[in-house]
Amino acid sequence: MPSTPRCIAVQTATEQYDIHIGAGALAQLGQQARAWNKGRKAFVLTHPGLYELYGGRLSESLRAADYAVESCLVPEGERSKTLRHAARLFTKLARMGADRQSVIFALGGGVIGDLSGFVAASYMRGIPLVHVPTSLLAMVDSSIGGKTGVNHPLGKNLIGAFYPPRMVVTDTSLLASLPEREYLCGLSEIVKAGAIGDPELFAFMENRVQAIRERDEATLTTLIERAIAVKVRVVQEDPTEKGVRAILNFGHTIGHALEAATAYARYTHGEAVAIGMALVARLSERLQYCSADVRERLCDLLTTLRLPVAYADIMPQLLLDVMAHDKKSVNGVVRFVMLEDIGAVAFQQSVPLDVLQELLEEYAATPATAQ
């Protein structure tokens, strides 16, 4: 039963777009695009599997609004976020006669969103982009804020631009087919949103664990709306990542180190971030940024959602080396977003490497499932 989509407006000096959220929102997408676009052609960029699942519904909505629809399919996974795939897409757009009025519809998770954004930003110096996020992570994170990009052999997300979408359509009913591990990955980012800026969202999650596990639609809609609102608030304040936007990296410094140290093969991004948040909460308690209660609430929520809060079988020194080489570390001091309370963090806090080392060594001895 489709619900009436709700709308969150994003407005910064350089971007202005609406995020439409609701189960069944896909049906209105064509008409909504017509409200600001007079073009003839729509390019749906997606993976073959997602095209099979949702391409029909999306195309139907676009055709009903008088768009000629072309699909551009790329394989699943991070390996599609490359200049090679972007180049293939530029060729396809040019061959199919895409012009400045043509719209790219990015139907997928963060991989599709980042690649499509990069292509839309560059083709003819920028053509309209609509995000249609299908993963929970893309709904609450990557479709908002205008960061686009592709990977390079020398670095993840190394090549890219800030390029805002013209509109985001977040149809929560698409989550029904999302694999469990990917679902948990998005939940990790929602816990992060609560921890950095919305104590009510955090408490709501604590009280709705069962409904969250069952993907109850009303519960999910609330989670998604509130998490989007946190990100929108932060991005509006700092659209180009000069200051406060750093709080979105809560749990990510250690999370990225875990991902890199395990060659991006062991943990999903959300799992690595969950461990990162739990470790930073410990660090925050130890350095007296927060009480033991606050640390415990964060670790408990992650655990009840079945997200990991500790790592095993990785040399702490390896994690430290990765962090020391992180572009955010200066002179042996790593900068962290520290937890002060549920809903409050302090960013750009310097943590001496020896304190960090002590913590990582303690955790390395702990079995992966323990707190």
Ligand X SMILES: NC(=O)c1ccc[n+]([C@@H]2O[C@H](COP(=O)([O-])OP(=O)(O)OC[C@H]3O[C@@H](n4cnc5c(N)ncnc54)[C@H](O)[C@@H]3O)[C@@H](O)[C@H]2O)c1
How many residues belong to the site for ligand X (CB under 6 A)? 29
- In the block, tokens 């990955």 appear at 185
Radius of gyration of the chain measured on its C-alpha atoms = 20
Quick one: tokens of 125?
């110096």
Catalytic residue among 192, 249, 259, 282: 249
Q: Is 57 exposed, middle or buried (0-12, 13-18, 19+ CB in 10 A)?
A: middle
DSSP conformation class of 75? -
Residue of 4, 16, 177, 291 interacting with ligand X (CB under 6 A): 177
Residues 6+ apart with CB under 8 A from 153: none
Measured in Å, how far apart are the chain's first and last C-alpha atoms?
41
Is position 141 an interface residue for ligand X (rule: CB under 6 A)? yes
Kindly tell me which of 240 and 357 has the beta carbon lying closer to ligand X: 240
Catalytic residue among 81, 245, 297, 335: 245
Kindly tell me which of 19 and 290 has the beta carbon lying closer to ligand X: 19
- Nearest Cα neighbor of 161 from 15, 347, 326 is 15
Residue of 55, 145, 251, 255 interacting with ligand X (CB under 6 A): 145
Kindly tell me which of 156 and 213 has the beta carbon lying closer to ligand X: 156
269 catalytic per annotation? yes
Kindly tell me which of 73 and 318 has the beta carbon lying closer to ligand X: 73
249 catalytic per annotation? yes
Q: Are 301 and 205 in contact (CB under 8 A)?
A: yes
Strand spans (E) along the chain: 6-11, 16-21, 41-46, 68-73, 103-108, 129-133, 150-152, 155-159, 167-170, 333-341, 344-352
Is position 147 an interface residue for ligand X (rule: CB under 6 A)? yes
Catalytic residue among 269, 282, 295, 297: 269
Is position 109 an interface residue for ligand X (rule: CB under 6 A)? yes
Annotate 335-365 with DSSP letters as a single string.
EEEEEEETTEEEEEEEEEHHHHHHHHHHHHT
Residue of 81, 131, 192, 226 interacting with ligand X (CB under 6 A): 81
Residue of 12, 157, 303, 371 interacting with ligand X (CB under 6 A): 157
Residue of closest CB approach to ligand X: 110
Is position 107 an interface residue for ligand X (rule: CB under 6 A)? no
Residue of 28, 32, 61, 134 interacting with ligand X (CB under 6 A): 134
Per CB under 6 A, residues contacting ligand X are: 47, 49-50, 76-78, 81, 108-112, 114, 134-135, 137-138, 141-142, 145, 147, 157, 174-175, 177-178, 182, 185, 269
Query: Among all residues, which ones are annotated catalytic?
Result: 125, 147, 189, 231, 241, 245, 249, 252, 256, 269
